[in-house]
Structure 1
Amino acid sequence: MSGGAAPPPAPGRELSNPPSDGISNIRFSNHSDHLLVSSWDKSVRLYDASANVLKGEFKHGGPVLDCCFHDDTSGFSACADHLVRRYVFSTGKEDVLGKHAAPVRCVEYSYATGQVITGSWDKTLKCWDPRGASGPDYTLVGAYPQPERVYSLSLVGHRLVVATAGRHVNVYDLRNMSQPEQRRESSLKYQTRCVRCYPNGTGFALSSVEGRVAMEFFDLSDAGQAKKYAFKCHRKSEAGRDIVYPVNTIAFHPIYGTFATGGCDGYVNVWDGSNKKRLYQYSKYPTSIAALSFSRDGGLLAVASSYTYEEGDISHEPDAIFVRKVNEMEVKPKPKAYPAPAR
């Protein structure tokens, strides 16, 4: 991919009271500018991103590896202590939905089915009904073995995409979880970091530790598969040598379907996948980009600048969350230029 405008100077407004250890995920609410943040400091925090106010915090028994909203003041967490929790910030109530046999890496809530879906390093995917009686496994709807440890999940409508170690990708229909609808292999050669479904439901993007993103499509026909491609990003040349950075996170713009990627190089790039162009690169953040999230109307972008230990335990910039106003020119696809017809 090519192109891109000059980066602006300001990285955005920094949220006060950030987590004290690595940020594992950040998510905007579908209903407001509330932002949910999970962290290795064993906390899930709820912020009002517009007002820059910490509205609540829940402590866990281990590092929290993922979080997602249920509604505007309640959510779910995936924790290294093997537990899946639900918490209500407005009342301070917390309960355990269930547990895995190893750390829980991912959690998603399906508005289509009303289920919570978790993926774990125990090589299983589990679905939970949060309306059931509370307590470990009382709410379990089903458990589904995976070929390897689950690294990333993404939902669009009734479709669920599961990316695991060993570059496996399973695609499920939530209405029939008995077997994957598709069993695929990542078209990237190295370990998957993130999978995110396109908002229009036609496919998904995968990122890897080796500075690449793959654009994949659900349609298995020859014409459908002919559309897929991969591109290099988050890398630089220094003294004739290519330095390659992991691409940790992908976030799609909810209106335009363009997407942002964040890498261990501290940069956020915005891409137009349809036209295979980079639209924008924001100025460098203090350290690795661990997570990204667009607000429900695409007007804000939350950026977690948080060292992801790709170079081991070295001194690094403190963890921070920046919220920046998104300018339409940064995320709106540019119309294709066609030559003027001959007179």
Structure 2
Amino acid sequence: MTAVPAPTLGRELSNSPLDGITNLRFSNTSDHLLVSSWDKSVRLYDASANVLKGEFRHGGAVLDCCFHDESSGFTACIDSNVRRMVFNYGKEDILGRHDGPVRCLEYSYATGQVITGSWDKTLKCWDPRGASGQERTLLGTYTQPERVYSLSLVGHRLVVATAGRHVNVYDLRNMSQPEQRRESSLKYQTRCVRCYPNGTGYALSSVEGRVAMEFFDLSEASQAKKYAFKCHRKSEAGRDIVYPVNAITFHPIYATFATGGCDGIVNVWDGNNKKRLYQYAKYPTSIAALSFSRDGRLLAVASSYTFEEGDKPHEPDTIFIRSVNEVEVKPKPKVYPNPPA
């Protein structure tokens, strides 16, 4: 299928971070956007109004962020701290610590817990309602087979992707051991994992320009539906150039999904029909993160060099907000040939 390029990249947000963007996430109640960065900041924007509403500075690079509610959130920091911030009051405190940099985190609206994954090879669950201090807020520590690279939640189910291509699937209501211990079906290092909105499985991307579509149900019929596909690669001078796939985000209405790679390209896919729906015009540099807004009308794109080719001159780190047209994200109905007369 030939994808039609979009004519524009979208609108640039003012006051973008000054160093590599590590993640961005839309609120599930508004067009507020939370952004974390290597410049030690976490910023809250009104993406529709193009207004920076608040900013906190931490003691080291901020590797991930997520919302708690409309005006507060949590951060994962390279200084090993997990912080919570209340933008309305300009207040922050330390929820707890790991023994190494905290790479990723999620907030579970189903259980009221913050889940953090670290390069210290542990997963931790926290109660953010308690007083400050690790002893009063830490609910549990769960050893992982390797450094944690990516987390994703859907309902009570948590997917943990680590170095060494390990994937653990947990039920947050019983964290004593994983429901499933898996190995990535992709041959190379995992970059991102994101659960399907309907809760039936997850998409996993790697540094080698591939995405795997997996299912939780271990029945033979369900496992027969899983597949992997190549993306974010090109042929040049007779050789294949393959790019890491850094970001995956699912559309909240149609459950199609976008991927972003180090090639500066954003593709939109129909996973059920195994088709690419759309390809946007090339962004200035690597796509570090992606997020659809709660109603799917907006897509936030972090165009931010991810140092896959080492330290070199690169375009400034920029956040683009693009309006999403239905034709870009809505699955196309299958067309069946007319039966013979």
4+ aligned runs moved over 3 Å, structure 1:
none
Per-residue CA shift, 1:36-73, capped at 9, x if unaligned?
00000000000000000000000000000000000011
Task: Show the counterpart of 1:214.
Answer: 212
| Alpha carbons 1:156, 1:197 under 8 Å: kept | yes
1:178 and 1:21 map into 2 onto residues whose CA distance is: 39
CA distance in 1, matches of 2:224, 2:4: 33
Select 2:94's aligned residue among 96, 107, 124.
Answer: 96
Partner of 1:286: 284
Q: SS at the partner of 1:41?
A: coil
SS at match of 1:329: helix
The match for 1:49 is 47
Does the CA contact (< 8 Å) of 1:258 and 1:331 recur in 2? Answer: yes
Decide whether the 8 Å contact of 1:302 with 1:323 is kept in 2. yes
Q: Is the contact between residue 97 and residue 137 of structure 1 (CA under 8 Å) also seen in structure 2?
A: no
Residue 227 of structure 1 deviates from its aligned partner by 0.4
Aligned to 2:121: 123
Shift of residue 137 of structure 1? 3.9
Q: Which residue of 2 aligns with 1:151?
A: 149
Q: Find 2:302's aligned residue among 304, 325, 337.
A: 304
- Of residues 319, 329, 342 in structure 1, which corresponds to 2:317? 319
Match of 1:193 among 182, 191, 194: 191
Match of 1:35 among 25, 33, 42: 33
After TM superposition, give the deviation of residue 340 of structure 1 in Å.
Answer: 1.3
1:9 Cα offset (Å): 2.1
- 8 A contact 1:292–1:304 mirrored in 2: yes
| Secondary structure at the counterpart of residue 138 of structure 1 | helix
Q: Give 1:4 shift.
A: 3.9
Out of 161, 164, 176, the position equivalent to 2:162 is 164
Structure 2 residue ranges without an equivalent (≥5): none
Q: State the alpha-carbon separation in 1 of the partners of residues 166 and 296 from structure 2.
A: 31
Question: Residue 222 of structure 2 aligns with which residue?
Answer: 224
Instruction: State percent identity of aligned pairs.
Output: 84
Alignment check: 8 A CA contact 1:98 1:138 kept: no
1-structure distance, mates of 2:105, 2:6: 34
In structure 1, the gaps of 5 or more residues are none
- Asked if residue 107 in structure 1 is aligned to residue 72 in structure 2, the reply is no
Which of 58, 61, 64 is the aligned partner of 1:60?
58
TM-score (norm 2): 0.99
1:276-297 CA deviation, whole Å, 9 max, x = no partner?
A: 0000000000000000000000
Spell out the pairing of 1:329-340 with structure 2 (5 A cutoff).
Answer: 329-340=327-338
Structure 1 residues 271-315: Cα deviation after superposition (integer angstroms, max 9, x where no partner): 000000000000000000000000000000000000000000000
Instruction: Quote the offset at 1:98 in angstroms.
Output: 0.2
Amino acid at match of 1:237: S
Cα RMSD (Å) of the superposition? 0.6
The alpha carbon displacement at 1:136 in A equals 3.1
The 1-side partners of 2:322 and 2:135 are apart by: 40
TM-score (structure 1 length as normaliser): 0.99
